[in-house]
């Protein structure tokens, strides 16, 4: 095997690794929303609630809206 062949082989596997990493990072907004909703429902069933709501959900919804607009453009 030539050095150039070995380098090409390594390069291909590095490209595959990068693609896998990108796929893992591109979890859809819908999937994130489902996860968050499941956590919220579980907390509700366990009677766990935040006492001092500092508007965190409003900020989360704003970021979700901005991200959705960014992705659609």
- The domain containing residue 9 runs over which residues? 3-72
- Specify the number of domains making up the chain: 1
Contact 32, 71 (CB under 8 A): no
Closest-CA residue to 28 (of 62, 72, 41): 72
Helix axes 29-45, 56-72, angle to 10 degrees: 160
pTM above 0.85, yes or no: no
pLDDT over 80 at 68, yes or no: yes
* 18-66 pLDDT tens trace: 988 887 777 777 888 898 899 999 988 988 877 776 788 888 899 999 9
Note the pLDDT of residue 54: 75
């Amino acid at each position: 095997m030539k050095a150039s062949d070995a380098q090409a082989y390594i390069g291909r596997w590095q490209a595959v690794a990068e693609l896998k990493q990108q796929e893992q990072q591109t979890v859809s907004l819908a999937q994130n929303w489902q996860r968050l909703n499941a956590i919220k429902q579980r907390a509700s069933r366990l009677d766990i609630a935040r006492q001092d709501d500092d508007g965190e959900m409003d900020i989360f919804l704003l970021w979700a809206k901005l991200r959705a607009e960014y992705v659609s453009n």
